[in-house]
A and B are shown apart, each in its own frame.
Chain A
Amino acid sequence: MELKAGARLRSAVGDAEFVVIRAAGGDVALTCGGLPVLDSNEVPAKAAVQSGHEGSVLLGKRYVDESDTLELLCTKPGEGDLAVDGHKLQLKSAKPLPSSD
């Protein structure tokens, strides 16, 4: 699927939901728990996390790919790991900006 900034997605294996913060153009295969993620208004068919794709996504955390062109924000936590075209996404480290408000 082609990912666009602002798109809301959900996992097919659990409760996890995401929003795309940044994405490069072009078709990519984004998976959670080993299965393709769905559009947020699709109803998942209660699939299990695939072997080798165990893990969890945490609320409010950001996930990025190796080239730092894709960034997702987790808006609802759930089971399974995130991967794009077979490569696992990494947890993005928090920015050390001082609080200005």
Chain B
Amino acid sequence: MHLGLILDMVHSGYAGRTALTAGGTSIGYTDLAERSWGASARFTELDVPAVVYVGSNHAAFPVALFGAAGAGVPFIPLSYRLGTEQLAARIEAHPGAFIVHADDLPIGTEGSRSSPLQPFLDSLAGVGADPPPAQDADLPCVLLYTSGTTAAPKAAVLRHRHLMSYLLGTVEFASADEDEVSLVSVPPYHIAGVANLLSNLYAGRRIIYLHRFDPEAWLDTVRRQSVTQAMVIPTMLARVVDHLQGADDSRTPSLRSLSYGGARMPTPVLRRAMELFRTTGFVNAYGLTETSSTIALLGPDEHRAAFDSEDPAERARLGSVGRLLPGIEAEVRNDDGTPVPGGQSGLLHLRGEQISGEYAGGTLLDAEGWFSSRDRGRIDEAGYLFIEGRADDTIIRGGENIAPAEIEDVLLSCEGIVDAAVVGLPDDEWGQRLVAAVVAGEGRSMSAEELKGVVRDRLRSSKTPETIEFWPELPRTDTGKLLRRQVVAQLTDDRP
């Protein structure tokens, strides 16, 4: 299946419906499809090998994406927050590409091969292009640079068949009611940004793009535009919850569904959000760039059941990422590759049609089609998947494998602690020793010694950080992922 199919279907099925609103202007489905076909014709005529998009969310994003798809060339969304040199290096890696870019970015205009967002969109109005000829579903569709929290960023290759498999496996055409509106705050260069664009268009749900996330603007948009669904990353939800401090209700009655993903959600933030957004259904979506977004879901009913439960096992499921989507297989394996017995922790391996596991350098799938996610996790007897963090983040202290997430959760449950990172630093005696950096909110009351006491009581002394530092903030990517390498670097620089 090819992405072009989506345009064919929405063009004939959603005439008169609005597809998306960004920066105060809206574009209808028919117009969106026709401009995209025009973009395909232009890219084909210019014979470009790829289309690079470097800008925030804008109606030009889907037009450039579908335009590239129809021309049979890959679409490469880049972060507009990259430094000038980094951005130039990324662009140089794709010579000859057509570049659709934000106005204020220093992109050299080379003939007709680049255009700012709005002029790009405007130039395709009413060009009357026909749908492009059918393309092969095996062509690379999107190249996405992974966030590189543990290693240098690399480009994951998602082919049309991967993205379409995800879409057709999870979304029903025209399943959205006409009044449904989705507020999107994830950027175009994040897999969730690509996936939710396809899902919402296919379902027929109007998208509203928030130019820059800010908790007040987000709440204001939900209220004024009667937003029915929203997708956020955990740090955004934490900021919304923080903004609603002292309130007993979010005052967002239109919001039916709030989904989150992209990084680990601290349970205290989630519980607080569920108290504030009482009538909203929460959805945790877990996936990786290499898996074409979501492969497991914790749905609204499961959230409420875990929230209300007195049973410790059920209660703990609020910290799980839910159960696998139909068509996805998972296996938890040892470091040596053998499957571990039920319920135990290990390396999560995944298999299914939407799983690419491919980078610009080649595929990482094994002979049987399994992809090693490099996430550590376990699956409980009812099929709930618990993610314990990246395998590379595991700390080995005195021969014991320690997942930082477990300790971070305890720290985050302490009054006044709003962010926490636990890392391992080299140690002559233990191999690695535990060090924590925490961020305290207004009016913190606990000292480092008191925090250590809580961890020691809840876990045990071998899992208690030797040192706990208070920092004004932790280094995170702009999509909310903790940059552990930088935490380690900062801690190491402090003590030469």
Residues of A near any B CB (own CB < 8 A): 5-6, 8, 19, 21, 40, 59-61, 73, 75-77, 94-95, 97-101
Query: Could you tell me if B172 and A98 are in contact, using CB atoms closer than 8 angstroms?
Result: no
Which residue of A has the minimal Cβ distance to B204?
A: A60
Contact of B137 among A6, A40, A61, A75 (CB under 8 A): A6
**With A21-B168, A95-B326: A60-B259 Cβ-Cβ less than 8 Å:** no
Contact of B173 among A60, A99, A101 (CB under 8 A): A60
Bound CA–CA A21/B203 (angstroms): 18
B261 → chain A closest CB, angstroms? 7
In chain B, positions 435-493 with a C-beta closer than 8 Å to chain A are: none
Bound CA–CA A98/B280 (angstroms): 12
Residue B233 at the A interface, CB < 8 A?
Answer: no
A63 → chain B closest CB, angstroms? 13
Sample (5) of A-B pairs whose CB atoms are under 8 Å apart: A40-B134, A60-B13, A77-B12, A101-B196, A101-B285
> B326: which A residues are within 8 A, CB to CB?
95
Bound CA–CA A53/B294 (angstroms): 40
Contact of A75 among B8, B196, B261, B283 (CB under 8 A): B8
Contact of B5 among A61, A75, A97, A99 (CB under 8 A): A75
Residues of B near any A CB (own CB < 8 A): 1-2, 5, 8-9, 12-13, 134, 137, 161, 168, 170-175, 182, 192, 195-196, 199-200, 203, 229, 231, 257, 259, 261, 281, 283, 285, 293-294, 297, 299-300, 325-326
Query: Could you tell me if A76 and B199 are in contact, using CB atoms closer than 8 angstroms?
Result: no
Bound CA–CA A61/B9 (angstroms): 11
Which residue of B has the minimal Cβ distance to A76?
A: B12
Which residue of B has the minimal Cβ distance to A8?
A: B134
> A99: which B residues are within 8 A, CB to CB?
171, 199, 203, 229, 257, 259, 283
Bound CA–CA A101/B325 (angstroms): 14
B179 → chain A closest CB, angstroms? 14
Contact of A61 among B173, B200, B257, B325 (CB under 8 A): B173
Bound CA–CA A77/B297 (angstroms): 32
Query: Could you tell me if B8 and A101 are in contact, using CB atoms closer than 8 angstroms?
Result: no
A96 → chain B closest CB, angstroms? 9
A43 → chain B closest CB, angstroms? 16
Most buried by B among A19, A94, A100: A100
Which residue of A has the minimal Cβ distance to B260?
A: A100
Query: Could you tell me if B134 and A101 are in contact, using CB atoms closer than 8 angstroms?
Result: no
**With A6-B137, A21-B168, A73-B168: A97-B174 Cβ-Cβ less than 8 Å:** no
Bound CA–CA A97/B299 (angstroms): 8
Bound CA–CA A95/B168 (angstroms): 10
Q: Beyond the given A59-B13, A73-B168, please list 11 additional residue pairs across the A-B interface where CB-CB is below 8 A.
A: A40-B134, A59-B9, A95-B172, A98-B283, A98-B297, A99-B171, A99-B199, A99-B229, A99-B283, A100-B297, A101-B259
Which residue of A has the minimal Cβ distance to B136?
A: A6
> B285: which A residues are within 8 A, CB to CB?
100-101
A-B complex: 9 closest residue pairs judged by Cβ atoms:
A60-B173, A101-B196, A100-B285, A101-B199, A94-B172, A98-B299, A59-B13, A100-B294, A98-B283
> B2: which A residues are within 8 A, CB to CB?
6
Query: Could you tell me if B172 and A60 are in contact, using CB atoms closer than 8 angstroms?
Result: yes
Which residue of B has the minimal Cβ distance to A93?
A: B172
Which residue of B has the minimal Cβ distance to A100?
A: B285
> B174: which A residues are within 8 A, CB to CB?
59-60
**With A73-B168, A94-B175: A101-B200 Cβ-Cβ less than 8 Å:** yes
**With A19-B1, A60-B9, A60-B174: A97-B134 Cβ-Cβ less than 8 Å:** no
Which residue of A has the minimal Cβ distance to B285?
A: A100
Which residue of B has the minimal Cβ distance to A17?
A: B8
**With A95-B326, A98-B300: A59-B173 Cβ-Cβ less than 8 Å:** yes
Which residue of B has the minimal Cβ distance to A71?
A: B168
Bound CA–CA A99/B281 (angstroms): 10
> B203: which A residues are within 8 A, CB to CB?
99
Bound CA–CA A69/B300 (angstroms): 31
Bound CA–CA A73/B299 (angstroms): 26
B201 → chain A closest CB, angstroms? 10
Bound CA–CA A59/B172 (angstroms): 11
Bound CA–CA A59/B6 (angstroms): 12
**With A6-B137, A75-B5, A76-B12: A101-B168 Cβ-Cβ less than 8 Å:** no
> B161: which A residues are within 8 A, CB to CB?
6
> A73: which B residues are within 8 A, CB to CB?
168, 173
> B294: which A residues are within 8 A, CB to CB?
100-101
A61 → chain B closest CB, angstroms? 7
Which residue of B has the minimal Cβ distance to A15?
A: B12
B33 → chain A closest CB, angstroms? 13
A65 → chain B closest CB, angstroms? 17
> A6: which B residues are within 8 A, CB to CB?
1-2, 137, 161
Bound CA–CA A95/B5 (angstroms): 20
Bound CA–CA A5/B138 (angstroms): 12
**With A6-B137, A8-B134, A75-B5: A100-B170 Cβ-Cβ less than 8 Å:** yes
